Structure 1
Amino acid sequence: MKDFIAELEAARRTVASGTLPAGAAHVVTLTRTYPADVEDLWDAVTNPERIPRWFLPVSGDLRLGGTYQTDGNAGGEIRVCDAPRHLRLTWVMGPPTPQDASIVDVRLEPLAEGTRLTLEHTAVVPAEFWDTYGPGSVGVGWDGALLGLALHLDDGEGPIAPEEQGTDPRLRAFNTASSEAWGAALAAADGLDADTVAARVAATTAFYVPPLDPPR
């Protein structure tokens, strides 16, 4: 059985500023190494038959220049598909914007011990939203995706069933620790005071780890 916290600690997180055609943006980056060869990892992150086994069902015209839609989440356009090294997507919740406002880059680098995956999400975020949640608003979700990918590649444990995700104690502890890790990344990047960072961590944690209903 995978140690979820150890999986969380296997990734490095950074927060930075960037720009997109739609304006000034925030950049969250996750980097970790998987014990898999680059071709297998590329197939895991691009094969529509494998993606639902660690992330979400996906549909659409899955080719360079085509569009995609994940089940109950974002959709967009496939901008770069350079197998087996680089995938770039627009990442849009709701109707597309006139100019790019959210881009996800996934890069794979073969290493002696496996393959390094770097996921970079650059997005134009309303100031009031960022000031409430900070990078954890998307970072916790991406941490969960990388955890699901680790479980899939290990082939020893399937993903947690959706109906159990809100109550599974390992996942609740994972999401809490992920929120705190993104708070640390924010503090390192922006030098914010501890109280400001703590408030954003608390808001993110409350969203991803809501209180459980008391037993009846």
Structure 2
Amino acid sequence: MNEIASQDTSLTAVKRAMGNREIAEGPARTAVLERRYEAPIKDVWDAITTPDRVNRFFLPVSGDLRAGGSYAFEGQASGKILVCDPPHLLRLEWTPPGDRGYSDQVEVRLTPDGPDATWLVLEHASVADVFRNDPDTGCYGVGTGWEGPLHYLGEYLRGVLPDRPSTEWYTFDEAEELRLANHRGREWAKIEAQHAGGADNG
């Protein structure tokens, strides 16, 4: 257990779904990702809420990190922390850089699976069309975008990532990321078609 696993190992580990729910901006669509991690719920919660640990598998984060406070992921998104209920629920406004005039909402829910494993559900809700996946045109939605961070969270929890910020060890490989995006995008396109056809209206 001393090497970072290829992201291909996570392609079948993610359960994908789409749904609908109401957020502050109005009726929203959602992309839902579910994964099981071999780690206690308190460890998973600590990993996704402690800045020095988040920085190991995702991005640098700063702010007043408490319910009612605000956060900012470097170069990615910022917003208010709407709910922080350890170790089960974290809900955030999610506003990418630039003035779009609206915010998405990201919610992470944790459920223990015995003493040493945890189910994580990440739900990204938006009133905007940020879910479309079309590998033919290189268009990928938010569901596709979340799969990489959830993979690296798993590798971090396994203890195989370098003990330093991800900006120091992660190397962007455009061809490899495009290959992964194409695969993930095709899976999400199937989910989107099912949802549009009424197969998933949860």
Same fold (TM over 0.5): yes
**Any conservation in 2 of the 1:20–1:101 contact (CA below 8 Å)?**
no
User: Which of 148, 162, 174 matches 2:152?
Assistant: 148
Separation (CA, whole Å) in 1 of partners of 2:11 and 2:41: 21
> 1:160 Cα deviation (Å)?
8.3
- Higher helix fraction (1 or 2): 1
2:105 equivalent in structure 1: 103
- Tell which structure's C-alpha radius of gyration is larger: 1
Structure 2 runs not aligned, ≥5 long: none
Q: TM-score, normalised by structure 1?
A: 0.76
Aligned-pair Cα RMSD in Å:
2.7
Whichever residue aligns with residue 73 of structure 1, its letter is Q
- Once the two structures are superposed, residues 118-166 of structure 1 have per-residue CA deviations (whole angstroms, 9 ceiling, x without a partner) of 001111105xx65676994211211111011012111224458687313
Q: TM-score, normalised by structure 2?
A: 0.81
The alignment partner of 2:193 has SS state of helix
> 1:95 Cα deviation (Å)?
6.3
Structure 1 segment 187-206 matched on structure 2, within 5 A: 187-191=193-197
Q: Does 1:164 align with 2:171?
A: yes
User: Which of 115, 119, 122 matches 2:118?
Assistant: 115
**Any conservation in 2 of the 1:15–1:185 contact (CA below 8 Å)?**
yes
- Once the two structures are superposed, residues 14-35 of structure 1 have per-residue CA deviations (whole angstroms, 9 ceiling, x without a partner) of 0122332322311000001000
Structure 1 runs not aligned, ≥5 long: 193-216
1:17 equivalent in structure 2: 20
- Once the two structures are superposed, residues 44-88 of structure 1 have per-residue CA deviations (whole angstroms, 9 ceiling, x without a partner) of 000001001111100111111110000001001111111111101
2:181 equivalent in structure 1: 175
Separation (CA, whole Å) in 2 of partners of 1:191 and 1:145: 29
Larger RCO (CA under 8 A, 6+ residues apart):
2
> 1:184 Cα deviation (Å)?
1.6
The alignment partner of 2:154 has SS state of helix
User: Which of 43, 63, 77 matches 1:74?
Assistant: 77
